[in-house]
């Protein structure tokens, strides 16, 4: 459900949604940094019929001054492993470079360039993330 007031507690959700059927659990996600609720929640019912009934009963109804938006939760698409969550950064060099076939990394004219464990020249490594480097340059540290 969405458009949830930041004052609503887990117990209040269970009480409100129990009109539709037996509530197994309710989760109110909070912000990592502030600890404040994020404005949405998940309510788990004993059976699917109760979940569908809750959508009809409570969608658009006011709870603590805000109209609820009640719908069935959708599964998140799987995210790739790693910090960024997106495709890996690979610089494009020369014709046909990029992430897919052809080109690839430039030739440095010999094997005297040290390579890391992924086969990339170590000269491309920087100390710290690019974001931290930009912050330091702007004087935020």
Least confident stretch, 19-23, 74-78, 108-112: 108-112
Structural domain harbouring 15: 10-67
Sort strands 66-67 and 62-63 into parallel, antiparallel or unpaired: antiparallel
Distance in angstroms (rounded) separating the CA atoms of residues 128 and 135: 11
pLDDT over 90, % of the chain: 48
Tell me which H or E stretch contains 44: strand 42-45
Q: Which residues contact 57 (CB under 8 A, 6 or more apart)?
A: 19, 20
CATH number for 48: 3.30.70.330
- Is 30 a member of any domain? yes
Q: Which residues contact 103 (CB under 8 A, 6 or more apart)?
A: 92, 93, 94, 95, 96, 97
**Tell me, what's the pLDDT at 75?**
84
Distance in angstroms (rounded) separating the CA atoms of residues 133 and 141: 10
Structure token digits, residue 3:
């458009």
Please determine, for residue 113, whether its predicted confidence score (pLDDT) is greater than 70.
Answer: no
Q: How many domains, in total, are found in the chain?
A: 2
pLDDT over 70, % of the chain: 61
Residue 23: φ, ψ to 5°: -90, 125
DSSP code for 122: G
The pTM score is 0.54
- Is 122 a member of any domain? yes
- Is 81 a member of any domain? no
- Is 74 a member of any domain? no
DSSP code for 103: S
Least confident stretch, 2-6, 76-80, 126-130: 126-130
How long is the chain?
141
118 confidence band (pLDDT: 50, 70, 90): confident
Strand partners, 42: 27
Claim to verify: residue 95 and residue 139 sit in the same structural domain: yes
Please determine, for residue 18, whether its predicted confidence score (pLDDT) is greater than 90.
Answer: yes
Model pLDDT for residues 77-94, shown as the tens digit of each residue: 887 776 555 555 555 555
């Amino acid at each position: 459900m969405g458009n949830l007031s930041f004052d609503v507690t887990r117990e209040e959700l269970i009480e409100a949604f129990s009109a539709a059927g037996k509530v197994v659990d309710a989760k109110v996600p909070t912000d990592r940094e502030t600890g404040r609720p994020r404005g949405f929640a998940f309510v788990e019912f004993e059976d699917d019929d109760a979940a569908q009934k809750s959508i009809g009963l409570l969608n658009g109804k006011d709870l603590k001054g805000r109209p609820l938006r009640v719908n069935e939760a959708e599964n998140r698409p799987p995210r790739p492993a790693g910090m960024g969550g997106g495709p890996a950064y690979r610089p494009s060099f020369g014709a046909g470079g990029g992430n897919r076939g052809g080109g690839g990394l430039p030739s440095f004219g010999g094997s005297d360039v040290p390579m890391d464990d992924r086969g990339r020249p170590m000269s491309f490594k920087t100390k710290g993330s690019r974001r931290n480097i930009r912050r330091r340059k702007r004087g935020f540290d």
